Amino acid sequence: LMPSQLWNLNWVVRDVTDLEDDSISFYPAMAHQIFGENEKIFGYKDLKVKLYFTAGPLNIFLSIECSHKLSFEEHNITPDDITALISEKLPAGCYYTNIDEFCNVVRKADTFQPFGEKIVQFDTNVEGERRFEIYFCTPTTPKFFPYHARFESFIMWYIDAASYIEQDDHRWLFFFCYEKYLNKDGNPCYASAGYGTVYQYYAYPEHVRPRISQLIVLPPFQKLGIGSRLIRTIYNHYDSNKQVLDITVEDPSEDFQSIRNYIDAKLCMELPAFQPDNLRGGFSKDMVTEAKAKAKINSLQCRRIYEILRLYHTNVNNEDDYRAYRLDVKKRLNMMYILHKRNLERAERRGMDVTAAKVGMTPLTERLDQLHEEYNVLEHEYQRVIRKLKEQN
C-alpha cells in the first residue's frame, strides 16, 4: 500500500470538533524518508494512519487503524512497524496515542503563546482578512527547542533529502510565522503556519555568510504570501549588518527558487545597474555590487536576476533583441561545456591521450539540442516570475 493513499491527516487541530472534519485534512507531499524509496507499507488491510497536530504548540497524536494485520505466527512474515518508523522521526516521547488524552491537550492549546520576539505583523486578504505574525528565535530562547523539534518533523513529509539541525550549534537562527485568530469564545489564539532557519557560516576574515537552510509553509497556509514574507524578513534581519557578505540558500526547491527570484527581481529592478539600457549591455560588476548592497544577493543569484530583468525588458517580437537575449543566456549555460572542450584540446596539443575523455563528451549536435531544451526550461521559469512582477506593478 502506498502511504499517500492511507493518511487521514489534520495537522492544524484548533478545536476538538476538527478531529471529525475530514475536509480540513491533507496529505504529505512525500513519504520515502519514512517508508523507503518505494513509499510502500506492507502487511495491512484497510489501513488508516492518523497523525494530528494541535494548531499552536503542535502536540502530536499518532494512531494506526486497520481491519487486518499479518502476524508472524500465522504467515511467517513480519509486517512493517509503522509506529516505529514514524516515531523515529518524531521528538522522543513527544506524541499521544490515546485520543481522549489528546482531546484534553487540544482544549488547553488555546493558551499557547509564540516563542521569541515578534518582529513582523501583516494581514492577508486572499481568503478573507487574516492576521499573521513572525517571531525571531535563537538557540538561547527559553524552552524553545522542544517546540521547534515538533515543527521540524514536518520537513520529512515536505522537503526532499531533509535532515534535522544540531540543537547545540549556536549559529542557527529561527523565524516562525503564526496566524493570530479568535477561537469560538472570541479569545485570541495562535496557529503555527511556517518557519525558516538560517545558518550563519563564517567568512574570512571577520565576516558572516548566512545560508537559508529550511523554509516550509504548511499546506493550509500556502498561497497566502507567507513564504515570501519569511524570506523578506530574513533579508531585513541582515540588511544593516556590515559583517554579512551575502545570503545563500541550501539546495533550494523549484518553488523556493521561484519565490526568491521574484523577491530579488523586485528589489533590483529599480537599481541603476538594472535599468533597460544597462541590461542590454550585458551582465556587469555594477550589478553584482548594487545587488549585494541592496539585499546581500550573491553573484550567482545576481546573474539569474539580470537574466530575468533583461527578459522583462526584451521585446520578444523583435527578432534581433530576442535573439541577442537568447544567445547571452545560452552562452552562460554552455560555459562549462566549452571550458571542458578547450581543456581537452589543450591537453591533446601537449601530447596527452584524451581518447577516453572524448568518448564521454556529448557530441556537438546533441549538445545543441540539450542547450535548446535547457534554455526553454529556464525561460519558462523566468516568464512565471515576470508575469508575477507585471501583476504586482
The pLDDT of 234-248, averaged and rounded, is 95
Q: Report residue 306 as a C-alpha cell.
A: 539580470
Residue 3 has pLDDT above 80, yes or no: no
Pairing between strand 48-54 and 60-65? Answer: antiparallel
Nearest to 17 by CA among 62, 64, 65, 52: 52
- Indicate the pLDDT class of residue 75, thresholds 50, 70 and 90: confident
Closest CA to 244 of 169, 306, 294, 286: 294
Q: Cβ contacts of residue 189 below 8 Å, gap of 6+?
A: 14, 55, 56, 109, 110, 112, 180, 181, 182, 183
Lowest mean pLDDT: which of 86-95, 254-263, 374-383?
86-95
Four-way CATH pick for 113-251: 3.30.479.30, 3.40.630.30, 3.40.50.2000, 3.40.50.2300 = 3.40.630.30
Would you state the pLDDT for residue 8? 54
Q: What pTM does this model have?
A: 0.89
pLDDT in tens, 147-156: 999 999 999 9
Catalytic residue positions?
250
Answer whether residue 22 shows pLDDT above 80: no
CATH superfamily of 3-110: Histone acetyl transferase 1 (HAT1), N-terminal domain (3.90.360.10)
The reply to whether 180 sits in an annotated binding site is: no
Strand order in the sheet with 207-217: 117-124, 130-137, 172-182, 188-203, 207-217, 248-249
**pLDDT band of 333, cuts 50, 70, 90:** very high
* Neighbouring C-beta atoms of residue 215, cutoff 10 Å: 26
Tens of pLDDT, residue by residue over 265-284, are: 999 999 999 999 999 999 99
Query: Tell me, what DSSP letter sits at residue 251?
Result: S
Which residue spans of the chain are classified as CATH 1.10.10.390? 252-392
252-392: in CATH 1.10.10.390: yes
Domain limits, CATH 3.90.360.10, in the chain: 3-110
For cell 581543456, name the residue. Answer: 343
43 is in an annotated binding site: no
Compute the mean pLDDT over every residue in the chain, rounded to the nearest whole number: 92
β-strand partners of 191: 179
Do the annotations mark residue 153 as ligand-binding?
no
Give tens-digit pLDDT for 172-223: 999 999 999 999 999 999 999 999 999 999 999 999 999 999 999 999 999 9
The H-assigned helical ranges of 88-246 are 99-108, 145-152, 155-158, 226-238
Residue 230 sits at the vertex; the CA angle it makes with 194 and 176, to the nearest 5 degrees, is 45
> What average pLDDT does the segment 316-324 reach?
97
Residue intervals of the chain classified under CATH 3.40.630.30 are 113-251
70 annotated ligand binder: no
Residue 225 counted as an annotated binding residue: yes
CB 269 within 8 A of CB 392: no
